[in-house]
Structure 1
Amino acid sequence: MKLQGKTIGMLVGPGFEELEFWAVYMRIKEEGADIKVMGLSKNETYEGKHGGMTATSQYGPGDFAADDLDALLVPGGWAPDKLRRVEEYRQLIREMDARGKVLGFICHAGWCAASAGIMKGRKAAGSEGIKDDMEHAGAVWQDTPALIDGNIVWGRVVEDIPEYNRLLVQKLSS
């Protein structure tokens, strides 16, 4: 179990992309990670983007500081558009980044990185729908299934989850 002893935060909110949350959750859980699910508020159940699947937050904004986590992962869907408006999460992303801790963004999750102001001159991948936003935030856009740039792991879309998960586990276990 490559991630035994690691505490990993995952953000969730209304309209999250179900597979980008649950497939990643299960993969890092399988490697022994202790996962803390954080939402717009504590103990709230969110409906996924496509309906039929839900996820419940255990924690809310401000419940964790960067020193409490080894990594912070954000799935895509429509949830990142809500999550990026929460100052506590923008600050957490900035603090995690400043400490060189692992951040993971897939699909539309890059919105959270852009709103946190950490993208200038850095590579990014994700849904084509956020390309302009990421470039305006200073990112160097990459049309690739997944990549690692420093402490950040990027995934493009649902179909790229296997490669994204592989790089996440690789980065988190190094």
Structure 2
Amino acid sequence: MRLEGKRIAILLEEGFEDLEFWVPLMRMQEEGARVTVVGITAGKTVKSKTGALTAMTDVAAADVQASAFDGLIVPGGWAPDKLRRYPAVTTLVRQVYEQGKIVGMICHAGLVGISAGIVRGHRSTGSLGIKDDLLNAGATWVDEAAFRDGNLVWGRVVPDIPYFCRELVAALA
């Protein structure tokens, strides 16, 4: 249990990618971390991109402080495009980053990183659908499954989740 005592936030909103939310959440718990599901509002049940699964937020982004967490994970899907529109979300992500803590982003999650202003000068990856967005935001695109650049952990797409989770655990430990 390499993450015993660590506190991890994971963002959630309508249209989240099922596996990119549930697998990292369970992997962090498996390693002993306490995971808090953070959304736009507290206690909201949201549907995944496929509609097959739902999940519930524990707290609203506006009601938490970056100092309460050792790291933050942003799953992909369509949720990042919604999450990035809320200043409380982008402020939380930016503050976690500025405090030198780990921010993990997979697939379309880089959209949140772009809006939080934390990707410039970093190597990045994700869905090809956001490659140009990352480049335009000043990141360098790398077509790799997963890697760490500073305190950012990147994952490309669903098949790369095992690599992403390994990088997350190593960075958070």
Query: Normalising to structure 1: TM-score of the pair?
Result: 0.98
Which residue of structure 2 lines up, in the alignment, with residue 9 of structure 1? 9
What amino acid is aligned across from residue 17 of structure 2 in structure 1? E
Report 1:118-129 matches (<5 A).
Answer: 118-129=118-129
- Number of residues paired by the alignment? 173
Question: Could you report, residue by residue, the CA deviation over 1:65-111 in whole angstroms, capped at 9, with x for unpaired residues?
Answer: 11110001000000000101110111111111111100000000000
Mapped partners of 2:89, 2:148: distance in 1 = 21
Mapped partners of 1:161, 1:83: distance in 2 = 21
CA shift for structure 1 position 120: 1.3
Query: Which segments of 5 or more consecutive residues in structure 2 lack a partner in the other structure?
Result: none
Mapped partners of 1:94, 1:158: distance in 2 = 25
Q: Secondary structure at the match of 2:126?
A: coil
Q: Is 2:56 the partner of 1:56?
A: yes
What amino acid is aligned across from residue 131 of structure 2 in structure 1? K
Two-structure CA RMSD over aligned residues (Å): 0.7
Which residue of structure 1 lines up, in the alignment, with residue 31 of structure 2? 31
What amino acid is aligned across from residue 124 of structure 1 in structure 2? S
Question: Could you report, residue by residue, the CA deviation over 1:46-75 in whole angstroms, capped at 9, with x for unpaired residues?
Answer: 100012101100111212111110001000
Mapped partners of 1:116, 1:58: distance in 2 = 22
Query: Which segments of 5 or more consecutive residues in structure 1 lack a partner in the other structure?
Result: none
Q: Report the identity percentage.
A: 50
